[in-house]
Structure 1
Amino acid sequence: FTTGAAGGLQPAPLTAPAAGNAGPQAPGCGRFEAQLCAMYERVAVAGKPDAEARELLERRSPSAVGDRIKVPTLIVQGQDDSLFPLDQADAMARTIEANGAPVSVDWAAGGHDGGMRESGRVEARVTQWFDRYLKGDEGAGTGPAFRVSRSGGLDSTDGLVKLRGASGDRYPGLTSSPREVPLTGREQTFANPAGGAPPALSSLPGIGGQLASLGAGLALDFPGQNARFESAPLSEELRVTGTPTLTLNVRSTAADGAAVLFGKVYDVGPDGRQQVLPGQLVAPVRVEDAGQGRSVRLRLPAIDHSVQAGHRLRVVVAATDLGYASPAAPASYTVSAQGPLAVPVADGVRTAAAGLPSWVWWLPLGALALAAGLLGVRRTGGGRGAVRAGAAQPEPALADVPLDITGLTKRYAKARDRYAVRDLSFRVEKGQVLGLLGPNGAGKTTTLRMLMGLIAPDAGEVRVFGHPIRPGAPVLSRVGAFVEGAGFLPHLTGRANLELYWQATGRPAEDAHLAEALEIAGLGDALERAVRTYSQGMRQRLAIAQAMLGMPDLLILDEPTNGLDPPQIREMRDVMIRYAAGGRTVIVSSHLLSEVEQSCTHLVVMDRGRLVRAGEVAEITGGGNTLLVAVERPVDGVTVEKVAALEGVASAVAGDGGILVRLDGATPAALIAELVRLDVPVSAVGPHRRLEDAFLTLIGGTA
């Protein structure tokens, strides 16, 4: 709603009401009709829609005009989309097909939770569809009646997710060719906590699908807040295409007799630890009149996912989920599974075996030639977002180098001649604590995001231990990162938070090195206390410990001392130094120059996206032409002006402990002689070793 309101929630000008509108716009409604705005505000306060809201929404919904759509329709729906799931595409397809219109359905990779990852293929198909049905070009291909993009794993050369197309000559719907999978699990009672908190985690709204596509999806279910039902290990691979369904018996102690549940199906590995939530999707369901028990058919999220032989299916029915509102009043739900899980397999859908990418196989010959030409350009041009056949292989000579950046460049998306990072190159060795410095807008955060594989560079490359960084690159498991504002569950202890975080990664518990990380973080007995009792400094150290789980060889810390008082900052400094002392490497981005000077061994100074200086801290602070003239007693402004006017002196300013003099041709010996002539009470002259002044000298006026 905020996005749709013009200018966010700024008051809109009062205008004459549009036809059918209830009146002038209210402040904050933007371009929304007053009737819709009032309905939204009423429902947002109540937490659920009333009868009037339901009637209005249904009247404005596409379902209200579905029986009037009789033109050829191509429906493209993202598979990783918790806002518009695949069952919406299914409802459209069934409605329009009933009108006798030609319909094709395309399940594309991506969605609102991570962006459309194959927009080029989708645009090409839409163009073909329009050529056929708007231009009337009888030779234009329209593609199969049903197509779905399937992950082919990670490319071994560049770490990018490979996609393959599967298709069928008819749209199978969501429950085609169901296969029954028996489940075990007794009747279970669990709680909806007061306030609906803490909620289970199925995805991070807006990016959950993107995480899933990179193999980095997270899922977290709290004990006592869900029921679980599990299959035996599968004897053969099972390809799920559609909506698994399961009959449940539900009882609720809520005052209104209702139960709000969230269903999801996991793919669980042979050891039981690694589990994948396909698409990071969850199905919400509200069961009315469940006070005395009620049978309900649970429709789990529609997915296309392959479950390997030896894996199991796990159905979880939870009381809460981060992506949805749930009742605030505490209640308990009792749930039992009635029969097997029905899994659709869509036997008529076949995966393309062609060597070309899946998005070109169905195009007509003319378009196929164009697609092949585009592929040639992308494979050789190496431009932005290119998928290169000859992508860089691991470099054995850099196998022991934690970080090597060469020619790294990133332009601003809407300004092709402006650069966030430009031709940046530097190297970080083992055991170093490297400070990444620069004024606001220097490109530090963009550099760190490219380093962690979150965004792709326009040119240049990042190598970690010789491996090129791409989204999902396996070498990223050797990198730990702390970003300001780590989210902890306040009612749990520090130890429980760390253990749950590590469980969510799916890696074995013995790989966490929990004791070692905690020793470095130095939390002591506070580890067994609830996080809500922690000071800001303790939360920061817990966040550092979380980043150190698994003892990554390269640790990235972005502003780790934010919000800390001086004693806490000193403790954080000790944490970084102790971590690097074991032969590991730390990169820290910070605005506290005095702390960087005391904790870092090396520096990289950036300005306007470029490298200004790189080297050891002592080299950068001790070099140059700036001297500190210590004086026995304070000197007046006239004396400082006389020093500044000396030949070979560029500037002189009074500072802490004396006069800061920047030479421009004069030697230190000549300067001392002139100071004595001016009766300046000199007690010592030496290189000025404060990082702050060296930093300001390096970046000039941009500070």
Structure 2
Amino acid sequence: MSNVIIEVNQLTKKFKSTLAVRQADFKIYKGEIFGLIGQNGAGKSTLLKMIGGLVYPSTGKIHLFNSEMNANHPYYERMGLLIENAGLYPQYSAYDNLKFVAMSYGLKDHLKHINELLELVGLSRTNKTKVKNYSMGMKQRLGIAIALMGSPDVLILDEPINGLDPQGISDIRNLILDLNSKGITIIISSHILEELSKVATKYAIIHKGEIIEIHSKEELLLKCEDRIEVEVSDVKMATPILEEHLNIGNYKVMNDHTVCIYDSHIENYRIVNALVENGISVHSIMKHKQSLEQYFLERTESVVTAHG
């Protein structure tokens, strides 16, 4: 049996003359924390709403649990959503908010379930404070508790750390990791890649409605790793020299003329001297060091330039 839990094919959404999402294609596997990274207005919320059954795609298909989705499909009940806002009742306590949702779901033994959810998200079941007096972080945790009502297999969180202070961000991050350790597959969107990198296991970069890259966590970190990029006349002749003369083993051939060296403690001049002395022309050599945010900005800016 396939462990693909969500698959989208050529998913597109158009609002009148605005193309919000264009031909999105990706798979999400059971147990992943799938990070959707994009600037504000990139199409993150629209894409998540389509996956969660709140908005119908203009074209394309969504498969959940190996079944093609249509309106009112029962598999949507296996998903918990926190998109844009949780729809909280500000005049009531966290316990009462959850009780209203449980009653609307028709859940049996909902009192026990409510207590378990409040404990899970770090809220007190005996606290009678009205939600209108909660901090932003407490409201987000309550929103996640509501999304978890009914014990979903998939949890979709749209910008859950937006507007939170450092402690609130840390609390939500730890909660996400805890939920994932319990077997819940999580889709989380953000416009802050550095923070998303602390929880996600896979990343999709969305820009102006289009998925432009998908990487595993390991692939993304490798792209941002400190490296020396060398452009030479012949890579096949250059790599044995790097290995034998400089004892460099941590490198990657990018194409016929470019090699990236990850032993960045080696000085550039030593690399150039060794190559030139052995008859290899060096066209350029440059050290690269960039943060995840710099990588994200470079990728989205390069798309703008290419399309411009």
Give TM-score, length-normalised by structure 2.
0.75
Structure 2 residue aligned with 1:443: 43
Question: Greater RCO between the two (CA within 8 Å, min separation 6)?
Answer: 2
Counterpart residue identity of residue 226, structure 2: L
Q: 2:160 aligns with which of 560, 564, 578?
A: 560
Structure 1 residue aligned with 2:33: 433
1: CA distance between counterparts of 2:260 and 2:194? 28
For 2:4, what is the secondary structure of its paired residue? coil
Q: CA deviation at 1:545?
A: 0.7
Q: 1:694 aligns with which of 295, 302, 306?
A: 295
Structure 2 residue aligned with 1:202: none
Cα distance change on mapping 1:461 and 1:566 into 2, 3 Å: same
For 2:56, what is the secondary structure of its paired residue? coil
Whether 1:627 and 2:222 are equivalent positions in the alignment is no
Is the Cα–Cα contact under 8 Å of residues 494 and 526 in structure 1 kept in the other structure?
no
Counterpart residue identity of residue 574, structure 1: N
Q: CA deviation at 1:628?
A: 6.2
Structure 2 residue aligned with 1:508: 108
Q: CA deviation at 1:477?
A: 0.6
1: CA distance between counterparts of 2:126 and 2:162? 21
Q: 1:406 aligns with which of 1, 6, 9?
A: 9
Counterpart residue identity of residue 14, structure 2: R
Is the Cα–Cα contact under 8 Å of residues 621 and 694 in structure 1 kept in the other structure?
no
2: CA distance between counterparts of 1:512 and 1:453? 28
Whether 1:456 and 2:56 are equivalent positions in the alignment is yes
Q: 1:673 aligns with which of 254, 268, 292?
A: 268
1: CA distance between counterparts of 2:54 and 2:125? 36
1: CA distance between counterparts of 2:102 and 2:201? 31
Structure with larger Rg: 1
Is the Cα–Cα contact under 8 Å of residues 494 and 531 in structure 1 kept in the other structure?
yes
Structure 2 residue aligned with 1:591: 191
Is the Cα–Cα contact under 8 Å of residues 99 and 110 in structure 2 kept in the other structure?
no
Structure 2 residue aligned with 1:572: 172
Counterpart residue identity of residue 411, structure 1: K
2: CA distance between counterparts of 1:427 and 1:458? 19
Structure 1 residue aligned with 2:244: none
Q: 1:618 aligns with which of 218, 239, 245?
A: 218
Q: CA deviation at 1:502?
A: 1.6
Alpha-carbon deviations, 1:631-662, whole Å to 9, x = none?
Answer: xxxxxxxxxxxxxxx9849xxxxxxxxxxxxx
Q: CA deviation at 1:605?
A: 1.1
2: CA distance between counterparts of 1:686 and 1:547? 46
Give TM-score, length-normalised by structure 1.
0.35
Structure 2 gaps, min length 5: 233-253, 273-285
Taking only the aligned residue pairs, the percentage that are identical comes to 32
Alpha-carbon deviations, 1:461-492, whole Å to 9, x = none?
Answer: 11111222223111111010012332322332
Is the Cα–Cα contact under 8 Å of residues 514 and 550 in structure 1 kept in the other structure?
no
2: CA distance between counterparts of 1:404 and 1:588? 16
Q: CA deviation at 1:547?
A: 0.8
Counterpart residue identity of residue 692, structure 1: E
1: CA distance between counterparts of 2:146 and 2:44? 23
Counterpart residue identity of residue 59, structure 2: A
Alpha-carbon deviations, 1:348-387, whole Å to 9, x = none?
Answer: xxxxxxxxxxxxxxxxxxxxxxxxxxxxxxxxxxxxxxxx
1: CA distance between counterparts of 2:289 and 2:62? 35
Is the Cα–Cα contact under 8 Å of residues 230 and 260 in structure 2 kept in the other structure?
no
Structure 2 residue aligned with 1:379: none
Q: 1:477 aligns with which of 43, 52, 77?
A: 77
1: CA distance between counterparts of 2:88 and 2:147? 13
1:83-162 to structure 2, matched below 5 A, reads none
Structure 1 residue aligned with 2:251: none
2: CA distance between counterparts of 1:526 and 1:538? 15
**Alignment root-mean-square deviation, CA:** 3.2
Q: CA deviation at 1:438?
A: 1.8
1:324-339 to structure 2, matched below 5 A, reads none
2: CA distance between counterparts of 1:508 and 1:647? 65
2: CA distance between counterparts of 1:686 and 1:567? 35
Q: CA deviation at 1:525?
A: 5.8
Q: CA deviation at 1:443?
A: 2.2
Q: CA deviation at 1:437?
A: 1.0
Q: CA deviation at 1:666?
A: 5.9
Is the Cα–Cα contact under 8 Å of residues 517 and 551 in structure 1 kept in the other structure?
no
2: CA distance between counterparts of 1:687 and 1:599? 25
1: CA distance between counterparts of 2:67 and 2:105? 22
Q: How many residues align?
A: 266
Is the Cα–Cα contact under 8 Å of residues 37 and 192 in structure 2 kept in the other structure?
no
Q: CA deviation at 1:428?
A: 0.9
1:185-224 to structure 2, matched below 5 A, reads none
2: CA distance between counterparts of 1:478 and 1:403? 12
Is the Cα–Cα contact under 8 Å of residues 432 and 602 in structure 1 kept in the other structure?
yes
1: CA distance between counterparts of 2:75 and 2:230? 57
1: CA distance between counterparts of 2:60 and 2:217? 26
Q: CA deviation at 1:572?
A: 0.3
Q: CA deviation at 1:519?
A: 2.7
Structure 1 gaps, min length 5: 1-396, 630-645, 650-662, 678-684
For 2:198, what is the secondary structure of its paired residue? helix
Structure with greater proportional helix content: 2
